[in-house]
Amino acid sequence: MTIIEYFKLNEEPFRISPNPRFLFLNEQVKEASSKVTYMTKHRTAPLYMYGAIGSGKTTLLRRLYEELQDDTTYNLRLLFAPNVKSSMAFLRAIMDAFGVPTDRAYDRSLKLFEGFLIEQYKQNKVPTLFIDEAQNMTRDILKLVHYLLNFETRDVKLLQIVLTGQDELAEKVKRYQELRSRMIPIAINSMSPADLQNMLRFRWSVASGNTSQAPFSDDAFQEVFAYTKGLPRDAIKLADEVLRHLYISQQDTATAAEVTHAARQLDMEK
Ligand X SMILES: Nc1ncnc2c1ncn2[C@@H]1O[C@H](COP(=O)(O)OP(=O)(O)O)[C@@H](O)[C@H]1O
Contact residues toward ligand X (CB under 6 A) are: 16-19, 22-24, 26, 29, 51, 53-59, 199, 203, 232-233, 236
Name the binder of 22 from Mg ion, ligand X, none, CB < 5-8 A by kind.
ligand X
Q: How far apart are CA 236 and CA 53, in angstroms?
A: 13
Residue 3: CA atoms inside 13 Å, Cβ hemisphere, count?
A: 18
Sheet holding 74-80, edge to edge: 74-80, 126-132, 160-165, 47-51, 184-188
Name the binder of 55 from ligand X, Mg ion, none, CB < 5-8 A by kind.
ligand X
Q: What is the CA radius of gyration of the chain?
A: 22
In terms of Cα–Cα distance, which of 219, 224, 217, 222 is closest to 241? 224
Q: How far apart are CA 104 and CA 188, in angstroms?
A: 39
Say whether residue 59 binds Mg ion (CB under 5 A).
no
Say whether residue 55 binds Mg ion (CB under 5 A).
no
**Which is closer to ligand X, CB of 142 or CB of 236?**
236
Say whether residue 75 binds Mg ion (CB under 5 A).
no
- Give the residue, chosen from 28, 33, 55, 58, that forms a contact with Mg ion under the rule CB under 5 A: 58
Which residues from 213-242 bind Mg ion, rule CB under 5 A?
Answer: none
In the complex, minimum distance from the CB of residue 29 to ligand X, in angstroms, rounded to a whole number: 5
Name the binder of 51 from ligand X, Mg ion, none, CB < 5-8 A by kind.
ligand X
What are the two backbone dihedrals, phi and then psi, of residue 196, each rounded to the nearest 5 degrees? -65, -45
**Which is closer to ligand X, CB of 26 or CB of 102?**
26
Give me the residues that bind Mg ion (CB under 5 A), please.
58
